[in-house]
A and B are shown apart, each in its own frame.
Chain A
Amino acid sequence: MSDEQRYDELGARLKKFEGRPAALSGVGKDPVNAPMIRHWCEAMGDTNPAYTGPDAIAPPTMLQAWTMGGLSGHQGRTGAYDELLGLLEASGCTAVVATDCEQEYLRPLRPGDEVAFDTVIEAVSGRKTTKLGTGYFVTTRTDLRVGGEPVGTHRFRILKYAPAPRAPRPPRPRPVVNRDNAGFWQGVAEHRLLIQRCTGCGLLRHPWLPGCNACGSPDWDTLEASGEGTVHSYVVQHHPSFPAFSAADPADGAAGPYAVGLIELAEGVRMVSDVVGVPYDEVRIGLPVRLVFRRYDEELTLPVFQAVER
Chain B
Amino acid sequence: MRAGDRLPPLEIPVTRTLVVAGAIASRDYQDVHHDPELARQKGAPDVFMNILTTNGLVGRYVTDHFGPTAVLRKVAIRLGAPNHPGDTMVLTGGVERVDGDTAVVRVVGANGLGDHVTGTVTVTVPGDTR
Contact = CB atoms under 8 A, between A and B. Distances in A.
A36 B28 CA distance: 13
A186 to B, nearest CB: 41
Given A43-B18, A44-B22, A99 B79 contact: yes
Of the four ranges (under 10, 10 to 19, 20 to 34, 35 or more), the interface on chain B belongs to 35 or more
Contacts of A45: 12, 60
A62 B64 contact: no
A164 B77 contact: no
Interface residues of A, number: 40
Contacts of A5: none
A108 interface: yes
A69 B72 CA distance: 25
Nearest to B30: A96
Nearest to B74: A104
Given A133-B43, A164-B43, A99 B56 contact: no
A48 B60 contact: yes
B56 A61 contact: yes
Interface in B66-102: 68-69, 71-79
A97 B44 CA distance: 11
A46 B26 CA distance: 14
Interface string B17-61: 010011011111110100000000011010000111101111110
Contacts of B63: 46, 48, 50
B60 A46 contact: yes
A177 interface: no
Contact of B26 (A62, A99, A100, A102): A62
B25 A40 contact: yes
A68 B27 contact: yes
Contact of B59 (A61, A68, A70): A61
A278 B26 CA distance: 42
Contacts of A42: 21, 25
Given A95-B43, A103-B74, A105-B72, A65 B26 contact: yes
Contacts of A105: 71-74
A60 B75 contact: yes
A223 interface: no
Contacts of B21: 42-43
A108 B59 CA distance: 14
B95 to A, nearest CB: 19
B78 A43 contact: no
A97 B76 CA distance: 17
A189 interface: no
Interface in A19-74: 36, 39-40, 42-46, 48-50, 59-62, 64-65, 68-71
Contacts of B74: 102-105
A257 to B, nearest CB: 17
Interface string A152-185: 0000000000011010000000000000000000
B100 to A, nearest CB: 18
A197 B32 CA distance: 59
Contacts of A61: 52, 55-56, 58-60, 72, 75
B56 A40 contact: yes
A60 B12 CA distance: 20
A201 interface: no
22 contacts: A36-B25, A43-B21, A43-B24, A43-B26, A44-B22, A45-B12, A46-B63, A60-B59, A61-B58, A61-B60, A65-B52, A68-B26, A94-B42, A95-B43, A99-B51, A100-B76, A101-B51, A101-B75, A101-B76, A104-B73, A105-B74, A163-B43
Interface of B: 12, 18, 21-22, 24-30, 32, 42-43, 45, 50-53, 55-60, 63-64, 68-69, 71-79
Given A50-B68, A104-B73, 15 more contacts: A43-B24, A43-B26, A44-B22, A60-B75, A62-B56, A64-B55, A68-B27, A69-B27, A95-B42, A96-B30, A97-B79, A100-B79, A101-B77, A105-B73, A166-B43
